[in-house]
Amino acid sequence: METTIAGQTIALNNEGYLTDLNQWSREVATHIAKEEGIDLTDEHWPVIEYLQEQHRNEIPLTIRKVGKSGIVNIKEFYALFPGGPLKKASRISGIPKPASCI
């Protein structure tokens, strides 16, 4: 499936996650976040960068691991990405849905 975001054709899987992190940009992230009902702030970007770094290093992600990252605690993570923080944050970050997400 493909969509156009910020004038760029983006490949998505059937759940709406990017299939190629190289197509990710802040504009793409902002667009996806709006679809998720989230207005990105300065507090969101360090979390997004952390998730991308973990993905590039092939480190499996969990909510607990994000909460212990030193970037945000679990309560803050839920506040930034309400209603499924790891799932939504991963989608906005341009990485695949973590295996720990249903």
Choosing from 12, 40, 71, 101, which is the catalytic residue?
A: 101
101 is catalytic: yes
Q: What is the SS3 assignment for the chain?
A: CEEEECCEEEEECCCCCECCHHHCCHHHHHHHHHHCCCCCCCCHHHHHHHHHHHHHCCCCCCHHHHHCCCCCCHHHHHHHCCCCHHHHHHHHHCCCCCCCCC
Task: Enumerate the active-site residues.
Answer: 101
